[in-house]
Amino acid sequence: MNQQYPQQPNQPQQPGWGAPQQQPYGAPPQWQPPQPKKNSFGKVVGIGCGGLLALFVVIGIAGAIGGSGSDDKSGSGSTAVAEQPKSDEPTKADKKPAEKHDSKPKEPAGPVKVTAKKTAFTKTMLADGSAYTSVLVTIKNSGDDSISVNPLYFTITDTNGTKHGAELAADEKQIDTVDLAPGENISGTITGKGKFTPKYVTYTDGLLGDPLRVNVS
């Protein structure tokens, strides 16, 4: 004989057993713990690090390309310099014509004009039996003041560089002792003792003035 047990009233299913139960309509929502917020800073940092890494890669590639280009240019430049021939000889631009030094004294321009020429010696009674050399000089006053002329104001320099003073009263054509007014001139001989070849004559006005040297033609 089957024994029947009294039916038990429906008991609500305990939580955690079986499928989750749905909240009855109109019931207050059960409390749930708040979900943690996703950290956006990590995303930003990750994106920033990735961008910087990509930027460094681009800069590295550009630097490698630029460095290879500069190496090529420097290499070509050094090759061009190496190919240039070295020479100690000066270039045409550096070569300057050598200055010509004239051994002959120049005739200075000024108020006094002097010329000198070779001439024969004409012996006077006062000359001894020694050899003499005479030069015919002409002096002209082209200035505004008078000048003095005296045989002692002249000297003769020969081709060996020896200077000869004037020998007074040895030559009949000896230049006179005078004062020349502006525009006046005088000619006469200056005589040195000995046989030599005259090179130039030097005239000094008053012995203390500026010397004037002229070549003997």
pLDDT, tens only, 7-40: 555 555 555 445 455 555 555 555 566 665 555 5
What residues contact residue 143 under an 8 Å CB cut-off, 6+ apart? 110, 111, 112, 182
pLDDT value at residue 10: 55
Q: Region 154-167: what's the mean pLDDT? A: 97
Residue with tokens 């002229």: 214
Fold of 112-215: Immunoglobulin-like (2.60.40)
pLDDT value at residue 146: 92
pLDDT value at residue 201: 98
C-beta separation of 217 from 116 below 8 A: yes
Predicted confidence (pLDDT) at residue 193 exceeds the cutoff of 50: yes
pLDDT tier at 78 (50, 70, 90 boundaries)? very low
Predicted confidence (pLDDT) at residue 139 exceeds the cutoff of 70: yes
Burial pattern 185-204, b for ≥16 Cβ within 10 A else e, equals eeebbbbbbeebebbbbbbb
**62/21: higher pLDDT:** 62
C-beta separation of 139 from 185 below 8 A: yes
Q: What percent of the chain has pLDDT over 90?
A: 44
Q: Worst-scoring range by mean pLDDT, 67-76, 115-124, 145-154, 201-210?
A: 67-76
Q: Region 68-88: what's the mean pLDDT? A: 51
H or E stretch covering 111? none
- Whole-angstrom CA distances from 93 to 96, 144, 210 are 8, 48, 41
Q: Region 197-209: what's the mean pLDDT? A: 88
Q: What percent of the chain has pLDDT over 70?
A: 49
C-beta separation of 187 from 205 below 8 A: no
pLDDT value at residue 12: 52
pTM of the model: 0.51
Q: Region 97-118: what's the mean pLDDT? A: 68
pLDDT value at residue 128: 86
Q: Region 146-174: what's the mean pLDDT? A: 96
Average pLDDT, the chain: 74
pLDDT tier at 122 (50, 70, 90 boundaries)? very high
